[in-house]
Amino acid sequence: MKSGYISNKLKHSFTRSKVSTTLFTALLCASSQSYAINPATNVTSTGQDLNIEISTPADGSNVDIAMPLSVTGRVSIGALPGGDASSVVYVIDVSGSTDDGGNDCNNDGTINDGDNFTPADATTGSVLDCEVGGVMALNDSLGSNANVNVAVVVFGSRAAVAQPFITPPNTDSNGNGIADIDELLMQLDQGGGVVSVGSTTDFSDALTAMTGAFQTRPANEQRVAYFLTDGLSGGSVATQANQARDAGIRVETFSVGTSAAPCTGSALETIASTTGGSCTDVQDIDTLAAVIGNVGGVPPTGIERVDINLNGGASTQVSVDNLGNWAHTFAVGTLADGANVIEATVMAGDGTTATADITVNAMVPTNDPTTPTTPTTPTTPTTPTTPTTPTTPTTPATPDNGRHPICTAAAVDPDGDGWGWENNASCIVGSGGTGGGGTSGGMMPMGPIFCASSASDHDGDGWGWENGMSCLVQGSAFDNARMTMPHCTAAAIDSDGDGWGWENDATCVVPGSPAAQIID
């Protein structure tokens, strides 16, 4: 348990220096548990709250021991904002007196065009040039932080919002390489330039416009204003300063130039002290940019530094920006396996400190197995079609009286040998068929072609079918009969013209017919 925890709980009764060893011992013995103190608070000698918070990582989180560990946080004098975001308003005096020139605004040792930050006016190195150069430096230091919103209020006899809030500060909406805020500032002139506000000086109206601008942002954001002027303002600013304080705004004021009223006893000091800020005299106007821009990172007013350590080891001072944001990265190899305690300590200008701490668990991450690719569902194979069982050919009937029928079409005789296949039986292409041709049906004059196998004679008539044509089965009854087949004595007994006739109760062949060419 850290002393910051005790001072946080008892801050209205004790400062850190008043907490005794006895009280520490008693409280430590009261519990065996360890409690993180985040954020931590202590009270400065001036009665202000000194705050520090570790924003990331979260207490109790698991971190990768093999990776660098980035730690970020915030510090403040006064209330610590509830949100991580910040709103910043640049309040700039553009009254007539800011036209005074001859200043080395960029502090390079010479007065030249490089000091003319506001080309809209006719003066090089004017007070306004230096004010704008300083605000540019400040805005550049906030850079690309998306948690920071910036706006511009200009004032003279009255005040007006010249640039509503935008984020991040270096936003370049037209892509021309110049931040939008810088483009707006370069257009300023005495009396306003982009807006008309007059040439005298009125702090109270400037504060009213500033507070009104902040009301457009969430109430839990950190609210900071930078108020720059080279002049004096008539009348009281107490009411407006209290309104700014009640709205949670911290105002940092800057008295610019030798002709400006010094901070001590001035309205600028009232504004700053009322709102928790500070007033800074910048007599040497050439250094304004470095002062307001906090080149290199300078903590907010009242904060000396922030230190960080790991597991009680040596402390390292970390950089803190204008808004109190800080960051540090622990290199690979510095974390211990298991629990690691990170402590961050803020020190105020009067020596008061507050320490926040968190514990993170460093481990080697368990690599999630690669999610397997879902296999593609295989396509169900198409069930093959059961082949049709061939029909057993019907044994052709033997033609009446042993005679072959005449084919009805010549197409059934593809090889032109005079024999075809029709109605599951051999037929003769002759004069009786549609193929026509009588004895010119294509019968082979050299005699029959013999079958290589008797199996090609399905109907047992002595004729088979092989190699796309008819053949005669050697040794068949027809083959034997053809050797002794008698000739018909008259063609008239061949009624169907197939070359075969019937005479004396027996088959005969008509001489000269296609049938006779096979028989003879």
Q: For the chain, how long is the longest CA-to-CA vector?
A: 164
CA 121 vs CA 124, 127, 185: distances in Å: 8, 11, 12
CA–CA distance, 312 with 454 (Å, rounded to integer): 111
Residue at 278: amino acid letter: S
pLDDT tens profile 176-219: 999 999 999 999 999 999 999 999 999 999 999 999 999 999 98
Task: Give yes or no for residue 446 having a pLDDT over 80.
Answer: no
Which residues make Cβ contacts (< 8 Å) with residue 411, sequence separation at least 6? 435
Per-residue model confidence as pLDDT tens digits over 354-386: 999 999 999 987 765 555 556 666 666 666 666
Residue (of 344, 341, 349) closest to 75 by Cα position = 344
**Close Cβ partners of 286 (under 8 Å, ≥ 6 residues apart):** 103, 104, 105, 107, 130
Q: Give the number of other Cβ atoms within 10 Å of residue 301's Cβ.
A: 16
Read off the amino acid at residue 101. Answer: G
Residue 6 has pLDDT above 50, yes or no: no
**pLDDT tens for each residue of 391-440:** 554 444 334 334 566 777 777 777 766 777 778 777 776 544 343 333 33
5, 35 Cβ separation under 8 angstroms: yes
Query: Comparing C-alpha atoms, which of 315, 252, 250 is closest to residue 79?
Result: 250
CB 140 within 8 A of CB 297: no
For residue 428, give every residue at least 6 positions away whose Cβ sits within 8 Å of its Cβ, in sequence order, or none.
404, 405, 406, 407, 418, 419, 420, 441, 498, 499, 514, 515
Phi, psi angles (nearest 5°) of residue 356: -105, 150
DSSP track, 176-233:
SSS-HHHHHHHT-BTTBSSS---SS--HHHHHHHHHHHHTTS-TTSEEEEEEEESS--
Residue 76's Cβ-count burial label (10 Å; 0-12, 13-18, 19+) is buried
Residue 33 has pLDDT above 60, yes or no: no
Q: Exposure pattern of 206-235 as b/e (b: 16+ CB <10 Å)?
A: bbbbbbebbeebeeebbbbbbbbbbbebee
Question: Each residue of 298-319: pLDDT tens digit?
Answer: 567 778 899 999 999 999 999 8
CA 291/CA 283 separation, integer angstroms: 11
> Residue 310 is inside which H or E element, if any?
strand 303-310
Q: Report the range of poorest mean pLDDT among 143-157, 331-345, 425-439.
A: 425-439
pLDDT confidence of residue 385: 63
Start-to-end CA distance of the chain, whole Å, equals: 133
Residues 6+ apart with CB under 8 A from 392: none
Is the pTM value of this prediction over 0.95?
A: no
Say whether 102 sits in a helix, a strand or coil: coil
